[in-house]
Amino acid sequence: FGGGQERGRRAGTEAVPNIVAMGEAAQIWLDQGGAIQAHATAMRDRLRRGLVAELGDDWTTAVNGPLGGDDPGGALPNVLSFAVDGIRASDVLATLGDRVAASASAACHTGSTSISAVLKAL
């Protein structure tokens, strides 16, 4: 239970608004999660098809990781990792601007110009 300053009666002050918000988020996911996941998967697959259509034969293009679709063991529905030989990631990011949420490295490797051990392991 609580500490000495609380005479053993209270464990602490809970962040009630945060607890309520988490419950609401869980309810939204229960109500709409399937549709949200299906939409994210469709958007990811559309982007992948567009990349392959535009760069496929002219470049060495690698789309990293499995394509999920209905496979529960597949890729996350909202993540697409790809590489194109001869194009720097910084150039891709500059071209995309704020139209697509993108990163040139893993979040745990921010600030470095070398390949992330996390991405290399994938």
Q: Which amino acid is at 55?
A: L
**Distant-in-sequence, close-in-space partners of 16: CB < 8 Å, separation ≥ 6:** none
Q: Do the beta carbons of residue 44 and residue 64 sit within 8 Å? A: no
Task: Kindly tell me the sign of the dihedral angle through the C-alpha atoms of 34, 39, 43, 49.
Answer: positive
Q: Which amino acid is at 96?
A: L
Whether 55 is catalytic is: no
Q: Which amino acid is at 60?
A: T
Which is catalytic among the residues 94, 108, 121, 122?
A: 108
Q: Which residues are catalytic?
A: 108
